[in-house]
Amino acid sequence: MMLLSKGRYLAREAKSGDDLRAAQRLRWLAFIGRRGGADDGAAIDADEYDAGCRHVLIEDARSGQLVATFRFMHLCSGAEIGRSYSAHFYNLDKLRHFAGPMVEMGRFCVHPEFPDPDILRVAWGWMTRYVDDNRITLLFGCSSFMGTDAHGYADAFAMLKEKHLAPRRWLPRVKAPKVFRFARALARFKPDPRRAQAGLPPLLRTYLLMGGWVSDHAVVDEQLGTLHVFTGLEIASIPPARQRLLRGVAG
């Protein structure tokens, strides 16, 4: 089992049903509980994709408190992308031709009471080690904006449209019944850079710093109460300086 210890945090894979349930409980708190969802003290976020994924827990090494989690699915190539969580929401037929191993990352969340940026660094450090050890060529997933009202994120979506759309050869097409086609709706909208950066989820901001790209539309996810965009990161395109930083954490 791969472990990564950095500072006060320890990242490890779930090794039991109790570990998985703890991750699912944290997901509920982060995605549903913070919106005021009714809680009986044992509510969890779980779905049929959990069984096909591996789950990473990030804990405070001193107290054992679970502070963050994410799950991931290893695919041998784009030919398997149809079994991913993202394929439930996006038409990913173009990515079926992507050669090389890939990983879908999902359900990344941080405990609402532990907003420490070092947690995200440890998560990326763990995944960097996995990417290197398994020669992964693409990371992808759904990056979530809290809430389902797109109006508050106009600057962020307009910036994604201007600077970060997926290459046409990989661009996902619409599949979900309820979407916000921001590339079309905001075609003439000029974003304010400061408001755009402030509106980006931290995980997506990190993807973009590494050269990631997104779909041209956001999916409205009523179950989690989020808007999400498909996000891809080709490992070969990560700038060398950023690779060194990631491997410094991973080491």
Q: What are the structure tokens assigned to 66, written together?
A: 């679970």
Taking residue 75's Cβ as centre, other Cβ atoms within 10 Å add up to: 21
Q: What value does the mean pLDDT of the chain take?
A: 95
Residue 222's domain spans which residues? 3-250
Taking residue 222's Cβ as centre, other Cβ atoms within 10 Å add up to: 8
Residues 30, 44: Cα–Cα separation, whole Å: 10
Residues 68, 27: Cα–Cα separation, whole Å: 9
**pLDDT value for 83:** 96
Pairing state of beta strands 213-221 and 226-234?
A: antiparallel
DSSP β-bridge partners for residue 106 = 71
**Least confidently predicted of 36-50, 72-86, 209-223:** 36-50
**pLDDT value for 37:** 66
Collapsed DSSP state (helix, strand, coil) of residue 230: strand
Q: What are the structure tokens assigned to 180, written together?
A: 């916000």
**pLDDT value for 2:** 85
**Least confidently predicted of 34-38, 61-65, 167-171, 232-236:** 34-38
Inter-residue contact 139 to 127 (CB < 8 Å)? yes
Inter-residue contact 37 to 43 (CB < 8 Å)? yes
C-alpha distances in angstroms, 150 versus 110, 134, 174, 186, 194? 22, 37, 17, 11, 17
pLDDT band at 73 (very low <50, low <70, confident <90, very high): very high
Residues 81, 93: Cα–Cα separation, whole Å: 8
Among 67, 65, 57, 71, CA closest to 118:
67
**pLDDT value for 35:** 79
**Structural domain total, the chain:** 1
Collapsed DSSP state (helix, strand, coil) of residue 111: coil
**pLDDT value for 42:** 84
Q: What is the pLDDT of residues 178-197, one digit of tens each?
A: 999 999 999 999 999 999 99
Residues 13, 214: Cα–Cα separation, whole Å: 28
**pLDDT value for 130:** 97
pLDDT band at 41 (very low <50, low <70, confident <90, very high): confident
Domain containing 223 — which CATH number?
3.40.630.30
Tell which phi-psi region holds residue 7, choosing left (phi > 0), alpha (psi between -120 and 50) or beta: left
State the pTM of this model.
0.94
Residue 28 has pLDDT above 80, yes or no: yes
Helices (H), 50-192: 117-134, 154-163, 182-185
Residue 85 has pLDDT above 90, yes or no: yes
pLDDT band at 34 (very low <50, low <70, confident <90, very high): confident
For 39-58, the three-class secondary structure string (H helix, E strand, C coil) is: CCCCCCCCCCCHHHCEEEEE
